[in-house]
Every structure is written in C-alpha cells, then in structure tokens.
C-alpha cells in the first residue's frame, strides 16, 4: 500500500491528539478507488472476504483524512466492506483549506443531489467487488451525519442507518434544500442517531423535535443522547473525544446492525 493510500494526515482538522486511534491494514485489502463520476473513495475489507455487508461512511467536513480512513479500516476488521467516498472534493479540498470558514464555504457548494449520486456509486462499487447489497448500511459523522439521514431517505433499500451528531436543521439553499428534520416522515430505513447533550450546534430541543416527528411518522428510528458529550465525541483525533461515550455508542451501533440483519 502506498503512503497516499495509507493516509493523508489531518491538515485543516488540526494535529492529531495523543489518544488518536491508529488501525493498521494488516489482513486487509485497502486503498483508493475512483467512482464513475470521478469522486475518490477509500475502501477497506478483509483480504479475500466475500459476500460482506457494506458500510458506507460519510466523512466530516474536514474531508477524506486519516481519521475517516482509519474508521474504514476498523469496520473492515469487524467484517464490513467499508467505503468512504469523498463527496466534497469536486468543490474544493478541505484538506488544503486555511481555516474552518474556508471549509464551510466548500461544503456549502456541494449539492445534496450530487452527494446522493456519489453514495449510490460507492454502494455499487462495493457490490461490484462481491459485497452483499441486501446488507448495506450507512453511517456518518458531523456533516456526514446529516448526509447519512438524507441518504437513508434517498435509498430505502438500506438495512440500517447510524448518524453521529449530524445537524438536524439549518439554512435551506438551492444546493441543500432539505435537512433531516424535513425527511423524518419519509424515513423507512431503521435508524439510530447518536448525539451529544452538550452540543450547542444541535440543541436538545431540536433533538426532541426530531424525535417527536419520527414518532408521529411511526419511523423505526431512535436517537440516543449522551448528556455530557460534546459535538464530535467519537473523533478520537480531536479534543472533543470522549472515550467512554464513544465506546458505548459504538457498541450500540454494532448491536443495532446485528438486530437489523446487517451482520
């Protein structure tokens, strides 16, 4: 595996914290692929593994950096064909952006409709390599958590969806016309949201509104809130990381996948 395939560091996301998790690629087939529309995607799976469940991973606003690639390798070692498409790069590279405002400007340009197509292509890529389309799930972190909600509404054939602290509401634009709270009544894919109670960007009352809309729609969905956890509590390379909550949430995610036949 080349250095580029192994990882790009963290760049605008900031230097890695001392507690950043590093997952090696021993026993894995892992690297970069180019999807039909031109988007790069990092994938990882057990070497020689066949008929594996698919996990689509939606990156944070910081791009396809080493943490997201590491997450793909972690899930590959749990038996998934993990694919993390870079749906932001056609509009600018967050890895090279000078600050958070520049990153947000890139993200604001990315049409949700195009992002949905990129994830369709990522799923098709995994299936073309022998993965099982009937056991496909999506997860995502931060902005990617928002994308996970939207993709579950877009692709009703998914077996499960697990968004991590994805924004539930925000400005509606031509590029990004809907938010998770707008699609609650349409959600048919079993979904487990993992959120922090100490996250000012996603207030508790907004989470409660989303829970109410999901309940009114009879959606097979729930949101777990970790009272003292901040935004980004799974991001082990950042100061926001909370090891206890991250471990518990990951365990719940795996149990949720098992309950819905993904694994």
The C-alpha angle 90, 95, 100, rounded to 5 degrees, equals 100
Alpha-carbon span 188 to 120, nearest angstrom: 17
Least confident of 52-56, 92-96, 195-199: 92-96
d(CA 235, CA 246) in angstroms, rounded, equals 8
What would the pLDDT profile of 118-175 be if each residue is shown by its tens digit?
999 999 999 999 999 999 999 999 999 999 999 999 999 999 999 999 999 999 999 9
Tell me the per-residue pLDDT of 28-72, one tens digit each, with 9 for 90 and over.
Answer: 999 999 999 999 999 999 999 999 999 999 999 999 999 999 999
Between 9 and 124, where is the model more confident? Answer: 124
Among 262, 243, 252, CA closest to 225:
252
Does position 24 have pLDDT exceeding 90, yes or no? Answer: yes
Question: Which token pair is 82?
Answer: 């993990």
> In the block, which residue shows the tokens 């989470």?
207
The token pair that represents 134 in the structure block: 């009937």
Span 77-98, mean pLDDT? 96
Give me the helix-helix angle, 143-154 and 112-128, nearest 10°.
70
Domains and CATH numbers, the chain: 29-259 (3.40.50.1820)
pLDDT computed for residue 18 by the predictor: 74
At residue 15, the pLDDT reads 61
Kindly tell me if the per-residue pLDDT of 11 is higher than 60.
Answer: no
pLDDT for 4: 38
Residue 27 scores a pLDDT above 90: yes
pLDDT at position 5 over 50: no
Give the helix ranges, DSSP H, for the chain: 3-6, 66-77, 100-108, 112-128, 143-154, 180-183, 204-217, 243-259
The whole-angstrom separation of Cα 161 and Cα 166 is: 12
Q: How far apart are the first and last CA of the chain?
A: 28
Which residues belong to the active site? 142, 199, 231
What Å distances lie between residue 133 and 103, 122, 138, 175, 227, CA to CA? 33, 11, 12, 29, 35
Give the chain's radius of gyration (CA, Å).
17
The CA-CA-CA angle for residues 59, 6, 11, to 5°, reads 55
Average confidence score pLDDT of the chain: 94
How much is the average pLDDT of 87-115?
A: 95
pLDDT per residue as tens digits for the range 218-257: 999 999 999 999 999 999 999 999 999 999 999 999 999 9
């Amino acid at each position: 595996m080349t250095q580029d395939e192994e990882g790009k560091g963290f760049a605008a996301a900031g230097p890695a914290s001392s507690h950043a998790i590093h997952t090696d690629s021993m026993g894995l087939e892992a690297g970069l692929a180019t999807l039909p529309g031109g988007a790069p995607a990092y994938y990882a799976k057990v070497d020689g593994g066949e008929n594996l469940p698919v996990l689509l991973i939606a990156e944070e606003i910081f791009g396809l950096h080493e943490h997201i690639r590491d997450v793909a390798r972690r899930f590959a070692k749990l038996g998934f064909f993990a694919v993390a498409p870079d749906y932001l790069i056609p509009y600018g590279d967050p890895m090279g952006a000078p600050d958070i405002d520049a990153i947000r400007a890139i993200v604001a340009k990315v049409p949700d409709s195009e992002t949905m197509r990129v994830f369709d292509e990522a799923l098709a890529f995994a299936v073309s390599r022998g993965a099982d389309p009937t056991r496909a799930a999506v997860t995502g972190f931060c902005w990617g958590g928002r994308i996970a909600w939207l993709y579950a509404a877009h692709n009703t054939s998914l077996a499960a969806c697990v968004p991590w602290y994805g924004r539930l509401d925000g400005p509606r634009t031509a590029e990004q016309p809907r938010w998770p709270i707008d699609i609650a009544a349409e959600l048919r894919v079993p979904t487990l949201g993992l959120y922090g109670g100490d996250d000012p960007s996603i207030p508790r009352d907004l989470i409660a509104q989303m829970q109410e809309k999901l309940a009114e729609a009879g959606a097979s969905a729930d949101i777990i809130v970790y009272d003292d956890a901040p935004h980004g509590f799974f991001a082990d390379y950042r100061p926001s990381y909370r090891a206890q909550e991250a471990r518990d949430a990951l365990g719940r995610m795996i149990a949720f996948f098992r309950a819905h036949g993904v694994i």
